[in-house]
A and B are shown apart, each in its own frame.
Chain A
Amino acid sequence: MEITIIQLFNGLSMGSILLLIALGLAVTFGLMNVINMAHGELIMIGAYATYITQNLFNDYLPASLFNWYFVLSIPVSFMVAFLIGWLLEVSLIRFLYGRPLDSLLATWGIALMLQQLARTIFGAPNVAVKSPTWLDGGFRLMDGVVLPYKRLFIILLVIVTLVAMFLYIYRSHAGRRMRAVMQNRDMAACLGISTRRVDSMTFAIGSGVAGIAGCALTLMGPIGPSLGTYYIVDAFMVVVLGGVGKLVGTIVGAVGIGVTGTMFEYWTNASLGKVLVFLCIVAFLQWKPKGLVAMKTRSLD
């Protein structure tokens, strides 16, 4: 019983981390169809932004306030990644719409540059971000079942981020413009929507969400310049499995991969578990190439 609960919780926790790193990509790749290989580096930027916030609190603010740095670092890492994403869109991505191969190569190059930049500024070794003490320990559900606060916090953070994104995309005026542009660019332009502004905003928001993911990853362990490369494949896998263009698909995909992954790892071992998950995904995509949640509609005419 305890083991089942722990495994389920681990799966959910894994899924929440996957979801967080894939959410930004669900916007830039899922909605905008930009194969953004630098997505991992935007995560890395978010992580380092958290690291800098921590250091600033350490150096300039009384120790009693240190525990609160993490609360501030979430919006900080969002903003930093948002701005860098916006710069990236304005200076490069906008020339590459509709050219998937070119954007893949170009963003990969950007990824390498950003990694090297991080290495130059922060050094090659990993740096540690000290988690706030209020996230130490765990919630004791029953004997032998302790749910770490850090993981609970990440699950909460994912839920909050998701709700914010849903509200933005499906309830706000800007979100409506965004969906209109992504569905029918020409017609949206003919209605007076500035597609350029919508494109750069959308890409920047996707990047900003990647920054939040980076912030959350500092809770899981030390961070380094190549942090992003560990997660980029997982992120793409989640978005493709979930079905490109649908946020709901991304959620189901992430939780699905998280839970089945931990189960396979528990039954076999870590590396075989990963292989099995990957095989399942390949098989699934053979059966449903459009992913879990495909766009269904009686389209025009």
Chain B
Amino acid sequence: MRYSSVYLLCVPALVLVGLLLAAPLYSTVAQTFGGEVALFGRYGAFFENAFNRDVFFRTLKIALITTVIAAALGYPTAYFISQAGPKWRSLLILCAVLPLLTSSVVRSFSWIVILGRKGSVNTLLMKLHVIDAPLRLLFNEISVVIGLTYLFLPLMILSLVGVMENIEDDLMDAATSLGAPRIKAFFAVIVPLSLPGLVVGAVLVFTGSLTSFTTPQLLGGDGSTVLSTLIFRQAMVLFDWDGAATIATMMVVLTLSVITAINMAARRLNPAA
């Protein structure tokens, strides 16, 4: 194919992304530097406010905890799936994909049914006479972390399975036949080779949690505002467009930095990959 026709076929997609996406984003970033304020003045003002500072660090903390839990739950699960026979493997993948394709509103809502005042957990504990009055389990940071872990665990599992499936069984067999205990062979063979999958999974879960809106909106309360729900409040309730644009810019920078940082760390840990 001639180069000119290749570029020509790319023009519609370039217009869509390069113009229809880039222009509004540029405009949002530009707004935070316009007006009668010092360069980066709006960012300084954001961090001078204690509430905003809390929101910023809470968002990072929630995303980090969610990523760690998703890795702890997902890693053994993905290993199990990759070792299972073809029938079990497709069934287990199917069961991980179903929640992934279900609406995030439904998935967050399910935790309202479980953790709500008349939810399953409270009903069970009252029946067992562990508690007399329903506990307040919703609308705090823990319920947000639970909801986000639920939301993103399938992504972690699928990223890991994709990589683990391609690790040759012979490598494990070689290690064990040469005398390595199975557990040692696992850490010497499977763990380093599955690192790229873990990195992809961690990036997906971390950036997903960092920017997720539905879950903190439904499962979080006033004390667990995060950047995405703050942006919504600034723009749609307070009509503070400068403030919302400032948070939007920070979220873009934060997302890009996280992706770059995790990828760089992964390259240093495993130069082969």
Query: Are A and B interaction partners?
Result: no
Q: Point out residues on A near B: beta carbons under 8 Å.
A: none
Q: Point out residues on B near A: beta carbons under 8 Å.
A: none
